[in-house]
Amino acid sequence: MKRIVLLLLTLFSCFTTAAQFSDSVHYYLKYASTGSVNNTNDGNSFLLNNNLGFKMSKKKLVLNTAASYVYGKQDRSITNNDFSAFMDISVLRNEKKIYYWGLATFDKSFSLKINNRFQGGGGVAYYVIHHANARLNISDGLLFEASNLYLHDTIPDIYQTVRNSLRINYKWVIINMIVLEGSNYIQNSLTHGDDYIIKCDNSLSVKLRSWLSLTAAMTYNKLNRTNRENLLVNYGVTVEKFF
């Protein structure tokens, strides 16, 4: 795992250093915090979802990094203690509709029974729509996965596999005020037909200022190997900055 972290830091350092010598580099920083609290005579629940993202874009290169942390309780019992981080790199072709991507992710999830999971790989993507206020792309590729899971809550499962990763990504901006965006994945193991992962992240934001928005978000995860899933629907604020 130390080698994986070192590799991610090295890649990030290389691309950041290259960016310092280009006048066409743009940066984007985003932080979103959503959550919910429910207290009744019969019980109480608490959920907090934090997301931090950083993006660097050049003429033909885009680097995305992001991390999220979800913590939740139901009647004093932990329901979520989930951490996820990823980095992806996109290299655009001259026509700017087709691009190549590379991806590395790391996950730990109490709710999905993931002790730790690493995925790394790459593929190709195509922009169906690519405008300033409307974007839709479809991507596909192969990912190597090394996982440490719990089956049936208590049985350790350490294994490796290769997955096909299909993603639909979109973003719509309406009258420069309403933003609807999301990424939705299905990742099937190439060696085990009943082993698949579904990931859905979708949000609706209403801008109050150029840098501040009210956000409603829905996150869904299903890990068929552990027979676990979670669905988070909450609301909060998003702070973003271009520079």
Q: What is the pLDDT of residue 6?
A: 44
Name the CA dihedral angle for 169, 56, 179, 238, rounded to a multiple of 10 degrees.
120
Return the number of other C-beta atoms located less than 10 Å from residue 125's C-beta: 18
Compute the mean pLDDT over every residue in the chain, rounded to the nearest whole number: 87
Dump pLDDT digits (tens) for 153-168: 788 999 999 999 999 9
Task: Work out the burial of residue 198: count CB atoms within 10 Å of its CB; fewer than 13 is exposed, 13-18 middle, 19 or more buried.
Answer: middle
Q: What is the pLDDT of residue 24?
A: 66
**Is residue 187 within 8 Å of residue 196, measured between CB atoms?**
yes
Q: What is the pLDDT of residue 2?
A: 46
Dump pLDDT digits (tens) for 29-87: 999 988 888 888 778 888 899 999 999 988 788 999 999 999 999 988 999 999 999 99
When divided into structural domains, the chain yields a total of 1
pTM: 0.83
Q: What is the pLDDT of residue 171?
A: 95
Name the CA dihedral angle for 114, 55, 142, 99, rounded to a multiple of 10 degrees.
170
The residue type found at 211 is: W
- CATH code, domain with 8: 2.40.160.40
**Is residue 160 within 8 Å of residue 144, measured between CB atoms?**
yes
**Is residue 29 within 8 Å of residue 51, measured between CB atoms?**
no
Dump pLDDT digits (tens) for 90-142: 998 766 789 999 999 999 999 999 999 999 999 999 999 988 899 999 999 99
- Identify the domain containing residue 75 by its residue range: 2-242
- Using CA atoms, how far apart are residues 32 and 21, in angstroms rounded to an integer? 30
